[in-house]
Amino acid sequence: MPGADTLMYGGNTTCIEIRGKQNELVILDAGTGIYPLGLDLLSSDLSVINIFISHTHWDHIQGLPMFQPSFSHKYKINIYGPRDLESGLGIKERLAKQMDRHFFPIQLDDLSSRINFFDIEEGEKIRIGSLKVSGFKFHHPVVNFGYRVEDDFNSIVFTGDHEWLSNDLELNDPEWETQQKKIELRTQKTIEFMRDTDVLIIDTAYTVEEYKTKKGWGHGNFDSSILAGREANAKQVYLTHHEPSRTDTALEICFQDALQKNRTTKKHPVFFLAKEREKIKIE
């Protein structure tokens, strides 16, 4: 959310730039943050751009039509994302819809850059120079892939939007135990995907109290994110997807309350609130 009260943590919607040791470029999501990133890229020597889309809710793709490298013959742009199993639509078909003439003056096929689309499967590994990118299905109302980007020494995990599974059946329901085992198995697989990462960027929209009225919306909370960071033994954890109605001051209060409540110590990961334009160097 842009504005005077959100200058520290707010601003553009989700877009994360990752550079490999050979200057390879991987972009995670194409929210409004991809617009200023595109302007930066115009003045660089880079000509190959790799974009991985977690899911196609507006806040994760709304900057893509205004991504300036798309309008230049100089660039080859590879766009990766999961196929939506419910509709059967691939990542190209879904992104083309947002550039339909009813919503945007330039259609996808009219762009000057060389754009390639790739539907990827969970667990598939994509090699981008020295980097390896793998996707994992995180729980959300639509198909949502989080990504692990790693080289031979370091890794970053981004969840995209994510809500931890819970068992909504009554305890006396004969299916409760079966359902619980499925949830526990998926939870463990999710933690393993995050395991030992240098940087975990995790959906943390709500407080625990707020989550009670927003269950099923597809987002995490401060407590669940702190617990996941600990269980996965992540080195640094960046809490993101901030609730847009929260000011910087309110966000910091929620964050400090959660840290105190969960009694984080030096033995645990280091936790941060994700900031606009923040740079992290991993060595």
Q: What is the pLDDT of residue 1?
A: 85
Q: What is the pLDDT of residue 283?
A: 82
Report the pLDDT averaged over residues 112-121: 97
Q: What is the pLDDT of residue 267?
A: 80
Helix, strand, coil shares of the chain, percent, nearest 5, are 30, 25, 50
Q: H-helix or E-strand containing 76?
A: strand 76-82
How far out from the chain centre does Cα 254 lie?
Answer: 21
CA distance 67 to 65: 6
Of 69, 63, 117, 108, the residue nearest 90 (C-alpha): 117
* Domains identified in the chain and CATH numbers: 4-273 (3.60.15.10)
Whether the CB-CB separation of 113 and 77 falls below 8 Å is answered with yes
Gyration radius from the chain CA atoms: 19
Instruction: Flag whether pLDDT at 264 surpasses 80.
Output: no
The four Cα atoms 163, 169, 175, 178 give a dihedral, to 10 degrees, of 30
Q: Model pTM?
A: 0.96
- CA distances to 197, 214, 278 from 66, rounded to whole Å, are 32, 32, 22
